[in-house]
């Protein structure tokens, strides 16, 4: 398991980013979802470190990285931040990009903008489709409400959607820790990201062009990026592997780390 002692900081694009960087060998970049931070990968940081160099940053606006300094935080900006972080770390070898949910939305942009840096993709509990007009409007409404009332109501709303019922019942401490991470995020960062998420583009037309080994993982009870939708995504990516994780919702790597780590280990071992 990772601790705050493992956290280090670096400067990239004139901003300070916090990250964990552990192990040696094949670089694996773990990119968290929204509105979370690197601690959502705590079981992968512990469980995969013998397989490569595991790098888990806090994205701009989250965790201990720089607060968001702009009104709209786009997936493109987050992808470019990650490329700059890799450069600052002097990572020259191609990486495996492992993103959960928003981390997956960023993966599409990383593939489009920095594809030459990719050795493989792991897409966890994410979507290729953009927001519907109604969902985008709801995000903008929530952004305004967060700026007005703070993040607590939003964290409450998210917690109810992120975990499957078994996790909520059996792992209350885990749920409380994630709620705390969300509540600690500044309103301007949450609002800017909501605006960026609302305007992200449709990645579905790109799926057939992805030509790196790809693993697609989803919690069987995920209500944000449902298994059927992720199965269709996997079918559109040539040669990809699809794994459904039992007893997990949207945060499968936290909810069932044993099954997730097993799938990732097998994938990494065959690269």
Which of 12, 78, 98, 102 binds ligand MLT (CB under 6 A)? It is 102
What is the closest distance, in whole angstroms, from the C-beta atom of residue 19 to ligand MLT in the complex?
A: 18
Max CA separation in the chain (angstroms) = 49
Residue 34 interacts with ligand MLT (CB under 6 A): yes or no: yes
Side-chain-side CA neighbours of 268 within 13 Å: the count stands at 25
Which residues are registered as beta bridge partners of 29? 55, 97
Minimum CB separation of residue 201 from ligand MLT in Å reads 14
Residues 214-243 that bind ligand MLT (CB under 6 A): 224
For ligand MLT, the binding residue among 39, 65, 101, 185 (CB under 6 A) is 101
The residue count for binding ligand MLT (CB under 6 A) is: 7
Tokens of 127: 């979507």
Least distance (Å) between residue 127 CB and ligand MLT: 7
Can you tell me whether residue 27 is helix, strand or coil? strand
**CA dist list (Å): 124 to 44, 155, 231:** 13, 21, 12
Contact (CB, 8 A) for 86 and 184: no
Residue with Cβ nearer ligand MLT (17 or 34): 34
Selection from 88, 87, 89, 78 nearest residue 116 by Cα: 87
Using the minimum distance from each CB to ligand MLT, give the nearer residue, 135 or 176: 135
CB of 102 to ligand MLT, least distance (A): 3
Regarding 107 and contact with ligand MLT (CB under 6 A), the answer is no
Q: Which is nearer to ligand MLT, 52 or 253 (CB)?
A: 253
Give yes or no for a contact between 25 and 93, defined as CB atoms under 8 angstroms apart: no
Closest distance to ligand MLT from the beta carbon of 59 (Å): 10
Least Cβ distance, residue 229 to ligand MLT (angstroms): 12
Residue closer to ligand MLT (CB basis): 120 or 249: 249
**C-alpha–C-alpha distance, residues 63 and 35, integer Å:** 9
Q: Does residue 47 belong to the site contacting ligand MLT (CB under 6 A)?
A: no
**What does each C-alpha distance from 140 to 19, 105, 137 come to in angstroms?**
29, 18, 5
Q: Which residues lie near ligand MLT (CB under 6 A)?
A: 33-34, 101-102, 197, 224, 250
């Amino acid at each position: 398991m990772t601790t705050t002692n493992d956290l280090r900081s670096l400067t990239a694009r004139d901003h300070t980013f916090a990250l964990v960087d552990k192990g040696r060998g094949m670089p694996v970049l773990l990119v968290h979802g929204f509105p979370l931070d690197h601690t959502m990968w705590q079981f992968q940081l512990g469980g995969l470190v013998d397989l490569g160099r595991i790098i888990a940053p806090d994205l701009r606006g989250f965790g201990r990285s720089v607060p968001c300094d702009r009104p709209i935080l786009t997936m493109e900006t987050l992808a470019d931040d990650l490329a700059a972080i890799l450069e600052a770390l002097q990572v020259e070898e191609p990486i495996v990009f492992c993103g959960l949910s928003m981390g997956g939305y960023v993966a599409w942009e990383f593939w489009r903008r920095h594809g030459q840096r990719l050795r493989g993709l792991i897409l966890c509990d994410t979507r290729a489709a953009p927001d519907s007009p109604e969902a985008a409007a709801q995000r903008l409404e929530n952004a305004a409400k967060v700026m007005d009332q703070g993040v607590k109501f939003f964290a409450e709303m998210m917690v109810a959607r992120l975990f499957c019922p078994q996790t909520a019942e059996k792992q209350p401490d885990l749920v409380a820790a994630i709620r705390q991470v969300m509540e600690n995020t500044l309103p301007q960062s949450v609002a800017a990201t909501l605006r960026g998420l609302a305007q992200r583009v449709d990645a579905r037309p790109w799926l057939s062009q992805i030509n790196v080994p790809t693993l697609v993982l989803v919690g069987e009870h995920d209500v944000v990026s449902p298994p059927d939708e992720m199965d269709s995504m996997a079918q559109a990516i040539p040669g990809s592997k699809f794994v459904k994780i039992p007893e997990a919702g949207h945060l499968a790597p936290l909810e069932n780390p044993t099954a997730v780590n097993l799938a990732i280990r097998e994938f990494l071992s065959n690269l």
